[in-house]
Copies of this chain bind each other. A is one copy, B any other.
């Protein structure tokens, strides 16, 4: 079993504030999982009782709305933590986490993490800052959803996907999402999403080759996103 010390999650997350001793303790009680594409790490309403470290892969955090449609709130990838909010609030998960590709995650039980808040102030502050960052993002997200058109949201989301997850060597977006998933990120019907992608394609802003999406005109897309 690895000792967590070299783990990419430690490098990029709040866990970087942990010392050797604390890491060893965690390494001892963590469990590792392989999650296949399409499978959940946890689901809305479930008691999680710990946090997940994403060692590899990307997942979507989504929530079922009253009308039965899924809304994707956020994508989470390699190096990030999952389930902090539920653990701290001591509540069931508010969102489902579903793998978009095969994933490697570690689970650290609540009983190991909670004492650290008392022992290690730097760690506490890291977690607080991370959650504050999420809160700011969420507030901004509300503004976008409320004030931007679907077209603007699509352009913005494409740019965001490129910035956050990058592109393959050929220039196509790395995150492989279906049209339905893109639709549920921007909060629109799948058909509307497809239609707008076609529009962007026709106006030369993007290029569609099967499932691959190439962003051809970043400036133009930024203009579309306002």
Give me the interface of A with B, judged by CB distance under 8 Å. 63, 65-67, 69, 71, 73, 84-85, 88-89, 91, 94-95, 117-118, 121, 124-125, 127-129, 131-136, 138-148, 186-187, 226
11 chain-A/chain-B pairs, Cβ below 8 angstroms: A67-B148, A85-B135, A88-B125, A88-B129, A89-B129, A117-B124, A127-B128, A131-B131, A135-B135, A142-B142, A146-B187
- A125 cross-chain contacts in B, Cβ below 8 A: 88, 117
Q: How many copies does the complex hold?
A: 2
Q: Are B226 and A66 in contact (CB under 8 A)?
A: yes
Residue in B closest to A149 when the chains form the complex, CB atoms: B67
- A94 cross-chain contacts in B, Cβ below 8 A: 136, 139-140
Complex CA gap A186/B146 in Å reads 7
- A124 cross-chain contacts in B, Cβ below 8 A: 117, 124, 128
Q: Are A145 and B88 in contact (CB under 8 A)?
A: no
How near does chain B come to A73, taking the closest CB pair, in angstroms?
Answer: 5
How near does chain B come to A190, taking the closest CB pair, in angstroms?
Answer: 14
**Other-chain residue from B73, B117, B128, B187 in contact with A131 (beta carbon distance below 8 A):** B128
- A135 cross-chain contacts in B, Cβ below 8 A: 85, 131, 134-135, 138
- A138 cross-chain contacts in B, Cβ below 8 A: 135, 138-139, 141-142
- A136 cross-chain contacts in B, Cβ below 8 A: 85, 89, 91, 94
Among A67, A133, A147, A226, find the residue whose CB has the most chain B CB atoms closer than 10 A.
A147
Residue in B closest to A137 when the chains form the complex, CB atoms: B138
How near does chain B come to A150, taking the closest CB pair, in angstroms?
Answer: 10
How near does chain B come to A4, taking the closest CB pair, in angstroms?
Answer: 23
- A91 cross-chain contacts in B, Cβ below 8 A: 136
**Other-chain residue from B89, B117, B186, B226 in contact with A67 (beta carbon distance below 8 A):** B226
**Other-chain residue from B66, B95, B134, B140 in contact with A63 (beta carbon distance below 8 A):** B140
